[in-house]
Structure formats: structure tokens, C-alpha cells
Structure 1
Amino acid sequence: MQKKQRVRAVLITFGAVVLSGAGYVAGAHHAAKAGSASVAAMSVTSAAGARIDPKTGRKVLYWHDPMVPNQHFDKPGKSPFMDMQLEPVFADDAGVSGIKIDPGLQQSLGIRYATARRQDIAEGFDAVGTTQFDESRADVVQSRVTGYIDHLYASAPMQRIAKGAPIASLFVPDWLAPQEEYLALKRSGMDSSMLDAARARMRAMSIPDDIVANLDRTGNAQTHVVLSSPETGVVSELNVRDGAMVTPGQTLAKVAGLSTLWLIVEIPESLALSVQPGMMVDAAFAGDPSQHFKGRIREILPGINTGSRTLQARLEIDNAAFKLTPGMLMRVRVAAQKPASRLLVPSEAVITTGKRSVVIVRNADGRLQPVSVTVGKDVGEQTEVLSGLTDGDRVVASGQFLIDSEASLKSVLPRLEGSTNADPVAPASGPATTDASPTYETTGRVEKVTADDITFSHQPVPALGWGKMTMAFGKPSPTAFPDAKPGEMVHFAFRQTDSGYQLTTVEPVGGAK
């Protein structure tokens, strides 16, 4: 019996020792785990109060959601806006301009680079022109006497006519008497002085010299005269008909020549100051680009066309082959009198935001930075840069809008609409609200109110594809919505701005809207 009691005592002692060992091991494991957690906590906040990233050991300024870069958080965690972890913003990146994109991502985005180069470019430009009659060479056919249209050879306006071709036959009854008188004096043997006086009277009555010569030769009086075309061209005006009576000085017809034409070039208003008389013009017929016609600008017509906002320049072009007719549309290249040095970049490298023009420049360290530029004229597929770049700068020539999206993750996108000299990690100076941006509404419970924002646990927003979530919305000013208290159910409206989502109204549920 005593032997059994001794065995029982030994077993109890052994069990106590085992339990004590297990407790020690568990306690040591718990202590180690607690110590590890303490170390991890220290890796986030150092003894000096600085926030340190445990992975890189770099000092952290704050954490943020790259999709809402102006919302800052003082500790890591899950983003209240998206299903993702907050990302740290490091202190050593604060003074660095631009963003760094992984080379693999650059290849995926299809990024190509180009170099801004200064080139000697002639200040020429393309325009359109229209051919017109050369009004300076238009001829008029008039009657110098009173008579009647005996026969009209030109039947209608815009009829082509050759030089010397008849236009109208005119019967002049007043010419009969002086001619008969001259013939009578000649048959009576009067002296030459009387005959000379009779000839002078006939010339005074506008009897042509060829009729007087024919009168001496044949002895027959003529009362008809044929009016002919002085130029090869078109009968642009025809003001009489067969049998019509005409008076001295009356215009019977107008003939416009076709050997030379006017080309009226439409100059855009933005280029009006760069056009001068004497500039060379190379024009091509739209129907046959192989046919080229050259000339020099003779004069700049005064006034701007209020409909097309263009200035008109006029020049003469040679049409001796009669290939052109008035009204034809011509493609025109106006060449400069001398070339000028210009800084050019590919036109696709320029992003127009509506307020300014921006190019994305690759810095020496490989970072990409948006730079505001002042653009000039387009030269083919290139654009002139007047300010903002220097010769040799590397710019992004493709993938700008993809970079634009990536840049927004790094707080660079707001700088495209703001000052390009702003700190890339600093929040925007003000919530630049765009009146044209849409407004969204929902209801939710107020969780937290600060001077900068209000945090809500809100219902879904179908227009944005949002489900239920807890999210902070910016306030337009620190004193806005003073009645919003944590725990209240409210109806609120907001819109998207350059600095995130900003509240426009906050009202208790059931309140007047």
C-alpha cells in the first residue's frame, strides 16, 4: 500500500513539472509575440515621434489613397474610399519634382519620347483660295453714237468669246448725211481743204477711220458698224437685245479676260499680321493636284470677313493655257520671305487642358513632370513652343493620357490645372470646384467631423457604382455645415473636384431640401 502511494506521489509531481514547463513555454511564446508586436509598432512610430516605414526604413510624411491623393491619414490601414491599402508618402520624395514610373509600366503604356529641337523653318502656312475674274483687265464695249442694234452676235452672258469676234451690229442713221455730203464735195471737184473739213466732221461724229477709207475707195456710204471683242475671254455682262436703241456712252457689253485671273486667298485671322505683299504663293487645283500655279501676293484687302474670320489676300496668276475658270477652289501654300528659328515638338506631345497647354517632360533622373508651355504655330505634324521648354528637352510623345492617369495616383494630375511650381506631395491650395461637374446625393450617418472634412457611413451611390462604405468628404470651408454632429442621420450631396469629393449640402433626414 505504501508503495502505491509513493508511485502516485511521483506521478503527481511529474505532472506538475510538465504543466509548469508548458506554462513557461506558452508564457515565453506569448512574451515573444508581444515583443514582436511592440517592435512592429515601434517600426511605425519611433521614439522621437517620427513615422518610419517598416519595409524600407524611410521616414513617412503621411499615408493616402492614390485615387484621392489630398486626403491624408496619420497611420496605415485600409482606404475608406477603395478596396485597397493606404500608401505611404515619404519625406525624401517631398522635394523631388515629378513622378517615377517603373520601366516595365512605361513599356506597357507604350511611352515614346521625343526631343525638343530648334530648327530653321520658313514662316509659311496652308490656306485655301478661290479664282476670280481679273477686274483690272475687264473691257467694256460702248456706243459712241445714237443707233439701233441691227444684229446681236453674243446671245447670253458668260458666253466665251475670242479676241476680234463680233458682239453686235449697230445701225447709225445719223452717219448717212455726212458721208453723202463728203461724196458730193469730192465729185464736184472741191479743193482739198473742203474735203479735209468734211473728213474732220465725220471723225467728230465717231465715224471710224476704216469706214472713211472705204468711202474714198468705193464711193458707197455705210450706216452699219460692227462692235467686236477687244480680248479673249467671257462676256460677263450683256445689257442689250436685238432692235434695242442705244445712246452715246451706253455700255452694250463687258468682256472679262481669262489670260490672267485673280486668286483670293483666305488668311486665318490669327495669321493676319504675318502676311505681307510680295510673299510667294504656290497654288494647286483641288481637282488636279499635279497642276501648280505660282504668283506673289499683290495686296492685302482691308477688313475681316465676319462669317469666316479670315483676311483676304489678292494676287494674279497666269492662265495663258486657259485651264482655270473663275470660282475654282485652290489649295494654297504661302511661303515666308525668309526662314526663322523655331523650337518644335511633336504635336501629339502637347496636352490642351482648356486653360493652358502642357507637355510631360522627362527629367535627368528619369522622372516625368508636367510643364506648362506657350504654343505657337503648327508646322506640319509639329508644334512650335514659344516658352516653357529649352532645346534638347526630352518630352513624352505618346501615352500622355495613360501617364496622366498614373500621375493622378501620385498627386501630379491636380498640377495640370494648377500651378506647375507647386509641391508634388502638397495638397491643393483650395477645392477648385467646377460648376459643370455633376452632383451626387445619398444618405448616411455622421461618424466624424473635422475642420477639413466630414466622415459618413453612407448608403450606395448608384451613379458612381459605389456600395455602402465609410468615407470622408471635404468641406468647402472650415465653418461649413456647423449643425452636422456625429451620430446623426443626414441627407448630403457632393461633387467631384480636383482635390477630391467635396460636400455641397448636408441636411438632417426629413429636413427641407
Structure 2
Amino acid sequence: MKTQSIVALAATVAVFGAGGWWLAQSDAPHKHQLEKKVSAEGKTYYTCSMHPQVRQDEKGACPICGMKLTQRTEAPAGVKAMASADKEPMYWYDPMRPDQHFDKPGKSPFMDMQLVPKYADEEGGAGGGAVVQIDPRIAQNLGLRVAPAKSGTFWQRVDAVGSVALDERRIVTVESRAAGWIERLDVRAEGDVVNKGQRLAALYSPELFAARQELKLAESSGDASLVQASQQRLRLLGGGTGASSQTGVFAPASGFVMELMAREGAQIAPGMPLMKLADLSQVWLLVEVPEVQAGWVREGRSAEARLKSLPGKVFEGRVDYLYPQLDAMTRTLKARLVFDNADGALRPGMFADVTLFGGAQREVLLVPTEAVIRTGTRTVVMIAEDAGRYRPAQVETGPEREGETVILSGLEAGQNVVVSGQFLIDSEASLLGAYQRMGAGMGMPEGMSEMEGMKGDSMPAMEGMSDMKPETGMGEMSGTRMENAP
């Protein structure tokens, strides 16, 4: 009995002693700190290099482009929380409807997916466009190439195909002024070449014979007025001096017979054409100039022509005439060029490669034509900034030729533009609402949604989503979860 009392007393003393020690420790000053613990391993997922919004838990192919998905490791949730703890989101948005902003996080009323926060430092630079960030290694794998916008000289030159034609001002008609018969025809086939002054035919004309006899009688009478009248009548009939019953028809110019309308022995009447001659010492070359380049062409400007049959030879000519009417079907303006053709190398009906020189525009901004994206509603280029950042910029373009386009506004010399893979960045920029913000700054009609503004842009993957039922979530599409990380 005494032993049990002693044990109980000892236990009581030990309890009170421990309590006193704890009270003593609690009076000492100290601080409480919360230590953040992060899991060593992040979540592994599979995504597409061309469509980073595609994320799924298993290997497979991209449902948009069919490329093989690559493995990625997501940072632990705790690390993400610490990284954005000091940032305050400006708003939340649905990646599929980036023009709609929300004050609080949650699920999108349009799609069954979580809203994404938007931070102030994710806004774009000049121009108001959103910045698309791409890892440099991924950019290299995608083959993204950039080129600088540079100041230079743009030569206004029109390259076209023209056809050689006769100079209509050098076509002459040979005819008889008196009635009669063709007793001899010296030129018997079309295409024969004749020289100026060469006899083409010999005619028998009783009327001419009578006029010559009258002239002889007038000369023998000594009456000057009668002689003058007889000479005038003979001249009007196209006859020469002499008493022969025949008269010759001579070539008024050199050329070739393009049309033969009479044969030997045929009867002719006054004014009846015998043949047509064409002079090929100078020819026309007719070209069709596109409407957008018609302003470069002026009468008197120089031109060059090259024939495939004569490689290496260049013919020099000039612009002779611009036709007043534009062809409504082809949207081209016809131009007439004049070329000397002393050697006869340019034959009517030939095709030639023609170059029209329209002068030079100096100190203009030039970019590769492949860098320009034309959607029908806007013209943009993708500006490459530092650290894998790309920003769309709306530009106004001028003429283009030989792979270079003149930029009138929206870009500065020295800025790098994307010339390969820019359509991928264009699609991502559309998802981020870059063009909606650009349009708002440039007077886009109020209330126009981004989805409407993106019509015609490079977003074929978005077509058909308007028919999706509201209750259908993005996670139900081929087991793919789509996210957007602006």
C-alpha cells in the first residue's frame, strides 16, 4: 500500500515538472514561419510542338495536324503558386473567346473549360498586339526563319509576255486608177518580198492609151493650156509618158506581200486594190500590263524584248502608246511598244519576254514577300523580338517584285520579321486576341467579336466549333485537353 502511494506521488511530481518547463519555454520570444513544400516531380503530359494548346495524358498524335506528340513535364503546382504569388491578374478569359473578359476565375460560360488569367506583363509592345512566346529550341525545330526589314531602292519594272505584230502605219495598198486588164503579174504569191520602186504588174488600159494620145496632140498644137490639161488627166490616171498601151504598177515601199487580191488576166476597175504590202523594218510588240503595275508605265519609257529562238540577244525599244481602256475580264492595260527590225528577226506572231522599265523608288522599306500575311481583311507581318517573343504588326504594303515588297507603314528599318513558319505564330496570335486589340486601336466597330474578326485568318482548326453543343467539353474531343498559356 505504501509502495503504490509513493509511485503515485512521483508521477504527480513529474507531470507538474513537465508543465512548468513548458510554461517557461512559452514565455520566451520566437516567430512562427510557414515553409512551402514542393513535390520533387511535376506532372508529365504530351503536347504538340505546332499546337501547344493540345495536352493529353497519353502518347498519340495531334488531333489538329496529326503530328506525333512530344513529352513535357509540368512544374509542380506549388512552384506555380510561388511564381505567380506576387502577380495580380488583370482579368480572366476563355482562350476560345479572348475578347470576353471576366473579373473572377471559374469556368467559361461558352466552353466547359477553366478561365485563364491574364497578367499585365503579358501585354504586347507597340501596336497593342499580344506577344507570342516560343521556346528557341522549339522555334529551331519548327524551322522559323527571320529576315531584317531594310531600306533600299525598289526598281519599278514590269515583266510580261508580248506578241509581235505588224506596224499598221507601215501597211500600204497597191491599186489601179484606171480600168483595164492585168497583162502581166510580176508578184504571184503572198509573202514575196519586194523593194521600193520594183514593178509589180503590167496593165493594159485603153483609157490610159487615149490619154497619152491626147497629150501628144496637145504638144504638137503648141497650146500650153491644152498640154497642161492633158498632163493633168494622165497623171490622175496614174500613167506615164510614152505611147505604149501598157502601164506599169510599182511598189511604193519595201516590204512583203501580205495579201494578193488580183491574178494575171483579171479585169480591174478604177480604185480596185491589187495587193497589200507590209514594211517589217519596224514592228509593234503588244503586251498586257497588270492593273496594279499600270501606273509604272509611261509613253516614251524604254523597254527590252528577248526571244526564246535567239537566246542572249536583247532587242531595245520604247513604249509608243497606252490604250485608253482597261480589259474588264483580265484587269490588264494593253501597251504598244515599237522596235526597230532592220534584220527581220522579229516576225509577226512571235512571242517575246518583255521588260518595261518604270524608274526607281529610292530609300523605301523592303521586306521579303513571303513574310507578308494577307488574310483579305488585314495585312500583317510577325516581328521577331528578343528571347523567343513574336508580335504581329499590321502594315500597309506597296508594290512587290522579285520576292520583295515595299512597306509603306507599320514597320521600321532594322526590325526582324518572320519569313518561315509565320502562319503558326499567326494562329496563336489569333487565339490570344492580338488582332482584336489591334482592331480596337484602329477603329474596329464596337461589339465586333474576335471570332468575327478572325474570319478569313489562318485558323482552319476553329471551323465547325460553332456547331458544338454547349454541354460538350473540350476534354471530350478525342481525349484531348486544350489549354492556352498566353
Q: TM-score range by the shorter chain?
A: 0.5 to 0.7
- Report if aligned partners of 2:105, 2:116 keep a CA contact under 8 Å in 1: no
1:206 maps to 2:235: yes
Question: In the alignment, residue 323 of structure 1 is paired with which amino acid?
Answer: A
| Cα contact 1:128–1:332 (8 A) shared by 2 | yes
| Matches of 2:363 and 2:99, distance apart in 1 | 43
| CA RMSD, Structure 1 to Structure 2 (Å) | 4.5
| 1:253 lines up with 2:283 in the alignment | no
Contact 1:442 1:460 in 2 (8 A): no
> What does the per-residue CA deviation read over 1:437-495, in whole Å, with 9 as the maximum and x for residues that have no partner?
5476566xxxxxxxxxxx5257999xxx55799x9xxxxxxxxxxxxxxxxxxxxxxxx
Q: Compute the displacement of 1:435 (Å).
A: 8.7
Matched with 2:81 is: 53
1:281 aligns with 2:303: yes
Partner SS for 1:204: helix
Q: Deviations over 1:36-66 (max 9, x none)?
A: 89999xxxxxxxxxxx933343425256675
Is 1:169 the counterpart of 2:202 in the alignment?
yes
Q: What is the aligned partner in structure 2 of residue 139 from structure 1?
A: 172
2:301 aligned partner, one-letter code: M
Structure 2, unpaired ranges of 5+: 12-33, 40-79, 457-462
Which residue does 1:107 correspond to in 2? Answer: 140
Counterparts of 2:402 and 2:175 in 1: how far apart (Å)? Answer: 52
1:456 pairs with 2:471: yes
In 2, the alpha carbon distance for the partners of 1:292 and 1:350 equals: 34
Deviation at 1:316, TM superposition (A): 1.6
Q: Secondary structure at the match of 1:240?
A: coil
Q: CA offsets, 1:340-385, max 9 Å, x none?
A: 3321110011000111211111346763211111111112110011
What is the aligned partner in structure 2 of residue 262 from structure 1?
284
Partner of residue 394, structure 2: 372
1:194–1:276 distance in 2 versus 1, CA, 3 Å: same
Structure 1 regions of 5+ residues with no counterpart?
Answer: 14-34, 41-51, 216-220, 444-454, 472-513
Q: Does 2:261 correspond to 1:239?
A: yes
Normalized against structure 1, the TM-score is what? 0.64
Tell me the SS of whatever aligns to 1:402.
Answer: helix
Q: Which among 423, 426, 430 is matched to residue 401 of structure 1?
A: 423
Displacement of 1:133 in angstroms is 1.1
1:64 & 1:321 partners in 2: Cα distance? 75
Report the number of matched residues. Answer: 400
Summarize the Cα distance change of 1:255–1:389 in structure 2 as closer, same or farther, 3 Å threshold.
Answer: same
1:331 corresponds to which of 330, 336, 353: 353
The alpha-carbon distance between structure 1 residues 71 and 226, as it changes in their structure 2 partners (threshold 3 A), is same
Given the superposition, is the C-alpha separation of residues 132 and 435 from structure 1 closer, same or farther in structure 2, using an over 3 Å criterion?
same
The aligned residue for residue 30 of structure 2 is none
Aligned 8 A contact 2:196 2:254 in 1: yes
Shift in Å, 1:92: 3.1
Structure 2 residue aligned with 1:271: 293
Inter-CA distance 435–407: structure 2 relative to 1 (3 Å threshold)? closer
Inter-partner Cα distance in structure 2 for 1:303 and 1:432: 39
Q: Deviations over 1:308-347 (max 9, x none)?
A: 2222222320100001111222222111245533211100
1:302 aligns with 2:324: yes
Give 1:106's aligned amino acid: A
Matched, 1:350 2:372: yes
Q: Aligned in 2, Cα 1:439/1:360: closer, same or farther, shift over 3 Å?
A: closer
Q: State the one-letter code of the partner of 2:338.
A: E
When residues 39 and 105 of structure 1 are mapped into structure 2, their CA distance, relative to the original with a 3 A threshold, is closer
Distance 1:109 1:358 in 2: 20
Q: What displacement does 1:80 show?
A: 11
Equivalent residue of 1:313, what SS? strand
Task: Report if aligned partners of 1:371, 1:420 keep a CA contact under 8 Å in 2.
Answer: no
The alpha carbon displacement at 1:277 in A equals 1.5
| Contact 2:178–2:238 (CA under 8 A) maintained in structure 1 | no
- CA–CA separation in structure 2 for the residues paired with 1:458 and 1:343: 47
Higher RCO (CA-CA < 8 Å; seq separation 6+): 2
Distance 1:326 1:421, change over 3 A: same
TM-score, with structure 2 as normaliser: 0.67
Q: Counterparts of 1:264 and 1:145 in 2: how far apart (Å)?
A: 39
Call closer, same or farther: CA 1:195–1:155 in 2, change over 3 Å.
same
1:317 aligns with 2:339: yes
Maintained 8 Å contact 1:123/1:340: no
1:120 maps to amino acid: T
1:110 Cα deviation from its structure 2 partner: 1.8
Change (3 A) 1:414 1:155: farther
Instruction: From the superposition, tell whether residues 201 and 102 of structure 1 become closer, same or farther in structure 2 (CA, over 3 Å).
Output: same
